[in-house]
Amino acid sequence: MSNLIPDLFSVKGLVVVVTGGGSGLGLYAARALDANGAAAVYVVGRRESTLKEAAKTAVNGNIIPIVGDVTDKASLQAVAERVRNEQGYVNLLFANAGVSGPKVRDSIPTLAKGEKPSIEEIQRGLWEPEMQAFTQPSHVNTTAVFYTAVAFLDLLDAGNKKRNVSQDSQIVVTSSVAGFSRFLASGFAYSTSKAAVNHLVKMLSTFFAQQGHHIRCNLIAPGYVLSKAKA
């Protein structure tokens, strides 16, 4: 029993993929994994320069940058194929990439000042963003999470079969407290997308368990976190 806690929280030897790993929470996670013994931490994002800078911060040199777009199936497949060729398996997939979408306070100045806007101001401000701008957070924060998970399923299964670590393979998704709250965070589109991904994670977890595959699915729901740039 004395080794239970260290073993339970150990990341030693893990092969990990972190989307949105060039900045913010993704980068913090990648650094922590590298510093605590992960064998390889692939950080995925669209900005090559950001990813390379992230890789330089690895104390053990195990952060590996891969340029990829989680909203593109071909790009996801290419990222998975590289990991497949270099490692052959994955123990942890951290689906962290996300966007905020239209911010209500940007289009309703009165609200931004802490005042109560008129119904006309609310209507005008909420009508301002195009529908595509409203649906974009769902595309990135929910749809792309789903396809990211699917792209790495065989590698996660291979991690279970390899048994290089005691834990079952796992998918962790970055959600937000906004997905659980009825109060406005940055915007309606963002909170809606996070509420959707919360349920998606529940469904994936249950589905894999029902099919007898030991791939755990969990999420984290942080509050406001500063991030310099999109990964």
> Which member of 175, 176, 191, 193 is catalytic?
175
In whole angstroms, give the CA distance from residue 216 to residue 196: 18
Q: Catalytic annotation on 175?
A: yes
User: Is residue 44 classed as helix, strand or coil in its secondary structure?
Assistant: strand
Helix axes 144-151, 188-210, angle to 10 degrees: 30
- Bridge partner list, 217: 171
3 state DSSP class of 169: strand
194 tagged catalytic: yes
89 annotated active-site: no
Candidate list 89, 100, 186, 190, residue with the active-site label:
190
Take residue 189 and report the two structure tokens written for it: 């589109």
DSSP string, 87-125: TS--SEEEE--------HHHH-HHHHTTPPPPHHHHHHH
- Using CA atoms, how far apart are residues 212 and 78, in angstroms rounded to an integer? 28
Identity of residue 87 = Q
Q: Provide the annotated active-site residues.
A: 175, 190, 194
